[in-house]
């Protein structure tokens, strides 16, 4: 059976704990590989490799670091298809979606290619008599990333792309459910360094595992900053524990994104947007849109009718089926979790308009498939509304007024993303200004910002003060040093000025 190991110091690194996990093929339900789980000693070995590599990597000037990122981008693009196929074989999303996973990660790598510009500091000439003030951004040292199963290419690149470009070295702990692509990315980064003529061994390291590896990262004294994406409870734990150990932490949590549909919306486009956002990647996206809020009974009735008709056209298939809109969920346990939430919704009194629980794909009966489900009559007090289902389930929550619709995402425990569908520019502008959510889409169902902006939610969707990628990412992975310099005039005699006992001012 195929064995997946870590990647430390530029080479494969076998875990020494003796513990392992199974990696399934979600299309068939069969075990296709095993992954070795790192011990605390294995994590330390990866961190020490990063510590050794960091001074030399930071000393490489930004232009040459950018050349490594350019070459890494080229290599990932050249390997796009095999990476996407490998990703789909472990995650279950269709190959086209996996290509998008890789591509969205590459967009942050493209941003990181411009790091010489992003690292420029500020300069003030003549802040005082003979005094200049300037600032510089310097790397923190060793950073770490802990990433989820749903985007095994994109989210690691979101983290290590910027962290490495600014001069840090990195230890990545990806999900043990689909661990192969992160290792392959580390191998390609080594190739990129060789092509650029720079030794990058130890710059990007990968360890696998569970809570043992996570806690070893959180407690390690040589790790200066941690980025995390996952569920909110674990995000809070990561943030609290990392901060207690003196680390800078950004921890992105769960989501329950809403789509508000006003009566004047382009209903044809809105329905297609909702279907893609709710059911794409089997709903396993933190920026999926699992709640739709139509305003007014007429809007709600028409939307429901159209959604049912569109759901009937959806094709669920294996990851390699080019005609399939989405594939299986990641594990049998996750499929059961989604089914349990559907039953909970029924028990709470919501109307199950479309029930996807009994879906089975002929010839792949062992796969982790679940059909699309649609609820109507969902109320804010229901647990299924309050919590993140993370599956192909769309809930209709009806609102009588725009004010009621805006209040729903604003008061929800999660504040990751929200969308409004309307032709009314003033209503959209007002909505974007007032809604209590971190990322807003206007006729855009999945409002993930482009790489040179920044990604991050509010409330229980994010812990920490700095978002991912863009200039916020540069700020997170660097520290600012400010220099105040005086070059006094002198007659060359070397005489000293009188001592001053007050704080200097810039008058």
Residues designated catalytic: 286
| Backbone angles phi and psi of 274, in degrees to 5 | -65, -40
> Is 31 strand, coil or helix?
strand
Q: How far is Cα 380 from Cα 347, in angstroms, rounded to an integer?
A: 15
- For residue 113, the cross-strand partners are none
Q: How far is Cα 117 from Cα 165, in angstroms, rounded to an integer?
A: 12
**Structure tokens belonging to residue 293:** 């809020």
Residue with the two structure tokens 């734990």:
237
> Is 212 strand, coil or helix?
helix
Is-contact 239 384, C-beta < 8 A?
Answer: no
Q: At what angle do helices 95-112 and 80-91 cross, to 10 degrees?
A: 120
| Backbone angles phi and psi of 192, in degrees to 5 | -65, -40
Is-contact 5 12, C-beta < 8 A?
Answer: yes
**DSSP letter (8 states) at residue 39:** P
| Backbone angles phi and psi of 147, in degrees to 5 | -120, 155
Q: Which of 188, 221, 220, 219 is nearest to 204 (CA)?
A: 188
**DSSP letter (8 states) at residue 496:** P
Contacts 24+ apart (CB under 8 A), 311-318: 311/275, 311/279, 311/354, 311/372, 311/374, 314/275, 314/279, 314/372, 316/359, 316/361, 316/369, 316/371, 316/372, 317/94, 317/361, 318/27, 318/361, 318/364, 318/367
> Is 248 strand, coil or helix?
strand
- For residue 25, the cross-strand partners are 30
Radius of gyration of the chain (CA): 25
> Is 47 strand, coil or helix?
helix
Helices and strands of the chain, counted as H and E runs:
16, 23
Q: Which of 134, 226, 219, 97 is nearest to 173 (CA)?
A: 226
3-state helix, strand, coil in the chain (%, to 5): 40, 20, 40
Task: Please enumerate in sequence order all residues whose Cβ is within 8 A of that of 107, keeping only pairs 6 or more positions apart, or say none.
Answer: 450, 451
| Backbone angles phi and psi of 109, in degrees to 5 | -60, -40
């Amino acid at each position: 059976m195929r064995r997946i190991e870590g990647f430390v110091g530029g080479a494969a690194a076998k875990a020494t704990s003796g513990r392992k996990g199974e990696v399934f093929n979600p299309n068939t339900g069969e075990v296709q590989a095993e992954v070795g789980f790192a011990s605390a000693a294995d994590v330390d070995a990866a961190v020490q490799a990063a510590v050794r590599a960091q001074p030399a990597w930071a000393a490489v000037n930004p232009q040459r670091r950018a050349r490594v990122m350019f070459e890494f981008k080229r290599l990932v693009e050249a390997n796009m298809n095999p990476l996407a196929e490998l990703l789909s074989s472990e995650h279950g999303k269709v190959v086209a979606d996996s290509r998008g996973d890789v591509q969205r990660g590459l967009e942050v790598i493209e941003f990181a290619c411009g790091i010489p510009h992003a690292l420029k500091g500020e300069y003030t000439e003549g802040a005082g008599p003979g005094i200049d003030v300037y600032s510089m951004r310097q790397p923190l040292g060793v950073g770490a990333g802990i990433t989820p199963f749903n985007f095994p290419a994109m989210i690691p690149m979101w983290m290590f792309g910027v962290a490495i470009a600014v001069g840090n070295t990195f230890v990545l702990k990806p999900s043990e459910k689909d661990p192969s692509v992160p290792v392959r990315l580390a191998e390609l980064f080594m190739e990129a360094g060789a092509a650029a003529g720079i030794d990058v061994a130890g710059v990007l390291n990968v360890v696998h595992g569970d809570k043992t590896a996570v806690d070893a990262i959180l407690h390690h004294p040589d790790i200066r900053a941690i980025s995390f994406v996952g569920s909110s409870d674990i995000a809070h734990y990561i943030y609290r524990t990392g901060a207690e150990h003196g680390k800078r932490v950004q921890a992105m949590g769960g989501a329950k994104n809403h789509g508000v549909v006003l009566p004047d919306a382009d209903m044809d486009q809105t329905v297609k947007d909702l279907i893609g956002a709710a059911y794409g990647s089997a709903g396993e996206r933190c920026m999926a849109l699992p709640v739709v809020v139509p305003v007014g009974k007429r809007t709600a009735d028409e939307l429901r009718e159209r959604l049912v008709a569109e759901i009937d056209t959806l094709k669920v298939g294996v990851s390699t089926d080019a005609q399939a809109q989405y594939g299986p969920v990641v594990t049998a346990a996750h499929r059961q979790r989604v089914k349990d939430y559907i039953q909970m919704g029924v028990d709470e009194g919501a109307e199950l308009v479309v029930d996807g629980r009994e879906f089975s794909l002929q010839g792949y009966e062992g796969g982790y498939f679940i059909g699309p489900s649609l609820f109507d009559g969902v109320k804010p007090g229901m647990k299924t509304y309050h919590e993140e289902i993370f599956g192909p389930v769309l809930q209709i929550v009806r609102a009588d007024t725009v004010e009621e619709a805006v209040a729903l995402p604003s008061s929800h425990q999660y504040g990751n993303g929200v969308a409004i569908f309307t032709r009314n520019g003033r209503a959209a502008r007002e909505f974007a200004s007032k809604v209590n959510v971190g990322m807003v889409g206007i006729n855009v169902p999945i409002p993930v910002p482009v790489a040179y902006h920044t990604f991050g939610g509010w409330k229980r969707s994010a812990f920490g003060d700095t978002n991912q990628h863009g200039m916020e990412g540069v700020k997170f992975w660097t520290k600012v040093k400010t220099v105040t310099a005086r070059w006094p005039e002198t007659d060359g005699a070397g005489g000293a000025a009188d001592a001053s006992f007050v704080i200097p001012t810039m008058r």
